[in-house]
Structure 1
Amino acid sequence: MTQAPATPVPIGWPWIIAVAARRPPRRRRRRRGRVPELVVAIPTFRRAEALRNALTAVRAQVDVENGLADAPMHCSILVIDNDSAGSGEQIALEIGAKYVIEPQPGIAAVRNRALGECEHARAVLFIDDDEIPEPGWLRAMIEMYTATKPTAVAGRVVTHIPEVVEPWVSKGGAFDRPIRTRGQLIREAATNNLLLDLDGVHRLGLSFDERFGLTGGSDSMFTLQLTRRGGTIRWAEDAVVIEQEDPRRFSPRWVLMRTFRFGNTSARVRIALARSRAGRLVERLRALGRGTVRAVGGSVRWGFGVVAGSVRHRAYGLRTATRGLGMMAGALGYAHDEYGRRRQRSSMKSTGRVNRP
């Protein structure tokens, strides 16, 4: 039986082209100009002038970073507006930021929307709409992130206290923050100057708990979960933002309300983190006990300040007692709705309505 002659193998360029056509296509590399690797996310709610100031300062640093030939990351800006009327849209677009509206009320929903919008990026960097970054802020954040490769990087926040303010506020330490060192590992952080590695966030299954959307505390909940699940937070001492608070807020009443909220949310967060009913009961009792100690101790210090004529002791004592009361209230199930109250006041102001006795 005669065997059929073998098919001749093509040679030369036609053969090379035929083989190449059977290979799977190479994965196209992302173009840096089209797909940013780091997104600076700015949540906002009816703070037009403050937003403009923040965006202008952030834009300047983003442009410098993107202009570097050896920049390790390409940056862009995202504004997430919690005002369904879109009050921040014009400002955001004027300064060249991507703009989206998150209609669900609450800061937790806004932060989760930011995470969703940044799925294409390597990292997201949160900054508040009432903050101005100091020169070198963005570079310091990126350097700490690329050098240490943590799950998160937290930077320093400094509050500018007005020159004319009651001594009770200026001497009471209400705006003092912990002193840390560059690169230090920390357990918990706020999101008003926080970079998150998105691969790490997804790997740890993290999102902002919307039970804390109108009360505050979702950032504490998020970062405590991050470190408890094995993530790391590094401190960037040189990445500084300046908090531009409304001067009218620097009053004893506002400071005490803020202090009460801190105590209230710290207790509620730790109760929510407990994994069992028994664990939650233990955290409630612990918050109740610690809150009682603070309330009693702070009251004693306040009384000493009254007798000694010391503004500093009166202020510290009253703040300590107020934080303790907040912890006790949280242990008993009360949630201080600070952001909800702020939204209500803002809505009344925008519609011309006023509170009546």
Structure 2
Amino acid sequence: MTTTSGAVHPRAAEARALAVAVLTYKRPADIAEALPQLAAQAVSVSSRFDRVEVIVVDNDPAESARELVESFALTAEVPVRYCPEPVSGITAARNRALAEGAGSDILVFIDDDERPSPEWLVDLVATFDRGDAVAVVGPVISRFDVQPDPWIEAGEFFRRRRMPTGTPVSVAATNNLLLDLRTVRRIGLVFDPVFGHAGGEDTMFTRTLHERGGRLVWCDEAIVWDVVPAERTTRSWVVRRAFSSGNSWSLTSIALADGPLARVRARLTGIAKGGVRAAGGALRLVGGVLTRSVRHRAKGTRTLARGAGMVSGVFGYSYEEYRRSS
């Protein structure tokens, strides 16, 4: 199976080792289902690289995934490594993946509750090979354990962006992301521990990568399916997620600002943009109530929550979406 169409960019061709990194935390059924698929994906690009492997970062201090992963590794067609990270938080787990991938040129992130499309890794690598990008981003499409109620569907809370392959982007999530580790190491980039429990660590990381000259591109064929459990299809959960998204955007914008004056501008921009979203969302929500429109009520609530999150971030509030009770 070929991973490219046409000539390989000279710089891309120099990348000879790839690792797929999956983070897990107390999801034995998910990691058991994901591992065989990820190993098969690694095999699919093995002719392109001198070395491929799968890295499992377990963020459970009790190392609950160890036995399962190490047992699977005994018969896997590619090396599979179990890597515990006892420090709580998504940032610590992602930084562990970066550290464990030190011997690789390319690191590909995916989450344990996601399932790759058949040609996922082939497509990511093909897009990387065709140009000089330092990161390739793919789409995430949600699949549901239970059908969301009409209000959530009308608000399009789980709808994510899609665009033509090759489109430049300036920010990305890390649940479907190929990284050129040579560039990441050269600029000394890691995930900021400030965002360990708040989320937004991927926003900060990829925006920093972009602002330091890295080219990020989209690969629309490299789909992963996000398996959404029932507890994430409630109105309260999706509204909190919208708030968190706006909150992390303001926090990262301020953190990226270079100098006091730039930080003031970032704060004013956050207040202005967040305020407009919050006000517009509130008006749409009221209009939806008056017209009995589910769509306007839901979309108004979503916009209002995101705007409120942006404004709260300007004033230093950090919504810790990933805070654990144990």
Q: Normalising by the residue count of structure 2, what TM-score does the alignment of the two structures yield?
A: 0.90
The answer as to whether partners of 1:151 and 1:196 remain within 8 angstroms in 2 is yes
Alignment correspondent of 1:247: 230
Separation of aligned partners in 1, 2:133 and 2:147: 41
- 5+ long unaligned stretches in structure 1: 1-35, 348-357
Share of identical aligned residues, percent? 40
The answer as to whether partners of 1:65 and 1:74 remain within 8 angstroms in 2 is no
Alignment correspondent of 1:202: 185
Q: 2:320 aligns with which of 307, 331, 337?
A: 337
| SS of alignment partner, residue 250 of structure 2 | helix
Q: 1:76 aligns with which of 27, 41, 53?
A: 53
Deviation string 1:291-312 (CA, Å, 9 cap, x unpaired) is 1111111011011111111111
| SS of alignment partner, residue 156 of structure 2 | coil
Separation of aligned partners in 1, 2:232 and 2:98: 31
Q: Does 1:51 align with 2:31?
A: yes
Q: Does 1:328 align with 2:311?
A: yes
Separation of aligned partners in 2, 1:48 and 1:235: 31
- Deviation of 1:94 after TM superposition, in Å, equals 2.4
Deviation string 1:99-126 (CA, Å, 9 cap, x unpaired) is 1111211111111111111111111000
Larger radius of gyration: 1
- Deviation of 1:56 after TM superposition, in Å, equals 2.1
- Deviation of 1:281 after TM superposition, in Å, equals 2.0
Letter in 1 for 2:105: R
Alignment correspondent of 1:8: none
Separation of aligned partners in 1, 2:23 and 2:50: 22
Separation of aligned partners in 2, 1:267 and 1:295: 14
Separation of aligned partners in 1, 2:147 and 2:188: 46
Letter in 2 for 1:39: A
Separation of aligned partners in 1, 2:147 and 2:92: 36
Question: What is the total number of aligned residue pairs between the two structures?
Answer: 306
Separation of aligned partners in 1, 2:54 and 2:162: 29
Q: Does 1:89 align with 2:69?
A: no
Alignment correspondent of 2:166: 183
Matches within 5 A, 1:58-137: 58-66=38-46, 70-72=47-49, 74-96=51-73, 97-137=80-120
Separation of aligned partners in 2, 1:125 and 1:94: 23
Letter in 1 for 2:197: L
Separation of aligned partners in 2, 1:191 and 1:237: 15
Letter in 2 for 1:224: R
Alignment correspondent of 2:10: none
- Deviation of 1:84 after TM superposition, in Å, equals 1.0
Alignment correspondent of 1:211: 194
Q: Does 1:297 align with 2:297?
A: no
Separation of aligned partners in 2, 1:87 and 1:263: 33
Q: Normalising by the residue count of structure 1, what TM-score does the alignment of the two structures yield?
A: 0.83
| SS of alignment partner, residue 114 of structure 1 | helix
- Deviation of 1:271 after TM superposition, in Å, equals 0.5
Separation of aligned partners in 1, 2:70 and 2:140: 27
Separation of aligned partners in 2, 1:146 and 1:294: 39
- Deviation of 1:163 after TM superposition, in Å, equals 5.4
Deviation string 1:186-237 (CA, Å, 9 cap, x unpaired) is 1110000001111111122211111001100111111111111111111111
Q: 2:176 aligns with which of 193, 198, 223?
A: 193
Alignment correspondent of 2:7: none
Alignment correspondent of 2:260: 277
Separation of aligned partners in 2, 1:219 and 1:118: 17
Deviation string 1:14-50 (CA, Å, 9 cap, x unpaired) is xxxxxxxxxxxxxxxxxxxxxx810000111111111
Separation of aligned partners in 2, 1:275 and 1:65: 40
- 5+ long unaligned stretches in structure 2: 1-15, 74-79
Deviation string 1:258-290 (CA, Å, 9 cap, x unpaired) is 001001000000000011122212211221121
Give the number of the structure with larger relative contact order, counting CA–CA contacts within 8 Å between residues 6 or more apart: 2
Alignment correspondent of 2:22: 42
The answer as to whether partners of 2:20 and 2:53 remain within 8 angstroms in 1 is yes
Letter in 1 for 2:278: A
Q: Does 1:315 align with 2:292?
A: no
- Deviation of 1:73 after TM superposition, in Å, equals 5.3
Separation of aligned partners in 1, 2:21 and 2:144: 25
| SS of alignment partner, residue 32 of structure 2 | helix
| SS of alignment partner, residue 124 of structure 1 | strand
